[in-house]
């Protein structure tokens, strides 16, 4: 069986290192909700970009 997850890069209006979010759904809305839950809603987001689709396979037994 395989499991998918997605990696998102969020950059703020201020010049700083990007924030990285991992989600189980391919949804920008889910990524932004997770960002707000983790770091709060007081930050001004400049860009949201999907950077990777990660596929994990279970090992055969």
Q: Are 53 and 4 in contact (CB under 8 A)?
A: yes
Tens digit of pLDDT for each residue in 2-56? 899 999 999 999 988 999 999 999 999 999 999 999 998 889 999 999 999 999 9
Confidence of residue 58 (pLDDT cuts 50, 70, 90): confident
pLDDT surpassing 80 at residue 60: no
Instruction: Give residue 15's pLDDT.
Output: 85
Say whether 38 sits in a helix, a strand or coil: helix
């Amino acid at each position: 069986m395989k499991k998918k997850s997605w990696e998102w890069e969020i950059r703020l209006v201020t010049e700083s290192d990007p924030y990285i979010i991992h989600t189980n759904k391919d949804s920008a809305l889910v990524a932004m909700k997770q960002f707000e839950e983790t770091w709060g809603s007081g930050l001004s987001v400049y860009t949201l970009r999907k950077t990777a689709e990660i596929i994990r396979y279970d090992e055969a037994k």
